[in-house]
Structure 1
């Protein structure tokens, strides 16, 4: 890669960093001042507009304004770019946790982590409902579709089991975070509090009748074939 291209790539990554930070600050402060529901309503409107704006700008920047970016670039390139950003999202979560842990300790990092998941999980659920056209009270079928559409749905390996009309078990069979720690000889990261916040909020946003129960999640002991497991039950209306 030439020095010019290296500089341009560094510039592009820097722009993504600042765009993400500024967007996230708007969302965080909206939650603080308006409450989560109102902030997520605002994010739905702002985010839809931003997606359309960014798509148009990228098409023009890449010279694809006439035929469209999707038709002018090989599908594999777009798929690889999307996956790179998904793994980047996971890396961002990790480096933030480590930075806060280093400066303020594990308890502070976990508190912030849990708060972030309390806000991000409902946002993910709303985006999945909108993208997939899921009904407001879609029960177990809607939950299955939405879980598969999550960021983690394209990053980790997972499975459904013990499914009935009113219940479902979701198991993470290969978690990138825990697998990476295992390779480094580290114990499991104790993510139960964050996971409980995450899955409870996600399920409630998909259908308020859904309840979440943790079957097992670190620091709980668990078998080798899954890292965490969650049971979702559809309560009576």
Structure 2
């Protein structure tokens, strides 16, 4: 069966059977992760059906970021993925179940499960790229807003004189997690894309800091120098 047909079937199932209100982890998110994954695995020998399936079901169980069992969500998602495949897609190759379950479990940042297969590495990279660039910028403030967190500390936006606390300030999440993601990428293609999109976030931080100082036309060059990727700063 063509890979595009499986994608259509998965989307149809999700639209009719999966109800959730988190627009940062919706079907559009799955579609974008799959699109990114295709770009990463273009020149690899990865199993496209494993990657597609993991991309479309990796957040089928998604606990809020402030949930005490957040780190267990990907394991629960893996179990639910196999249940759905067994119940609703009886013609799906069962020989791929283990590979899909591992890719779903390992995608999560909070679970801290190291990906052992090429497919799991691709899915993890593709999902983490959603946290960077323009999409990542939109998602971090959407999620923080839904949790009622302030955008940033106006007096110390980059936490120069305090501890970083992304459970309080949305902007702190940039340093706490997002700007560290490029170093965690599992594939060379994913790493290149991650550094490029992390630099976008750095430039946003530099623009924000300039505006907080009353400069609405420039950026804070010191912020760029401090946080730019190795390639940019070399």
Which structure carries more strand by proportion?
1
TM-score (norm 1): 0.33
TM-score (norm 2): 0.34
